[in-house]
Amino acid sequence: MMNKVKYIVFDSGDVVIFSATIDHSTMRNTGRGNPAGAGFLHFFISDTVEGGKRNAHVSVMCYGESVSLKLKSREKLDEEKVNQYVLNNHLR
């Protein structure tokens, strides 16, 4: 079962991911800069098989908005930041 999670991308490039039970505004003062994008996040795992070897690929989808911060998800830009910062997986 997948739980809904929230995120904030800061102008420093840092990313914070946290439970949907916590307000975005509670997580804004982490000393990481000013919030630049915020919303909700889903992780997806896809499997591929190459040469008989199974590979898993994790990707993310950012969407929605933070009511408490009055910020919207920047969708693709935030997805790239989450991939780079959290998953260490640069989108091509």
- Return the domain boundaries, the chain: 5-87
Beta carbons of 79 and 7 less than 8 angstroms apart: no
pLDDT digits (tens, 9 = 90+) for 46-57: 888 888 888 887
Note whether 73 and 39 are within 8 A (CB).
Answer: yes
Is a pLDDT exceeding 70 seen at residue 90? no
Give the pLDDT band of residue 45 (cuts 50, 70, 90): confident
- Higher-pLDDT residue of 73, 51: 73
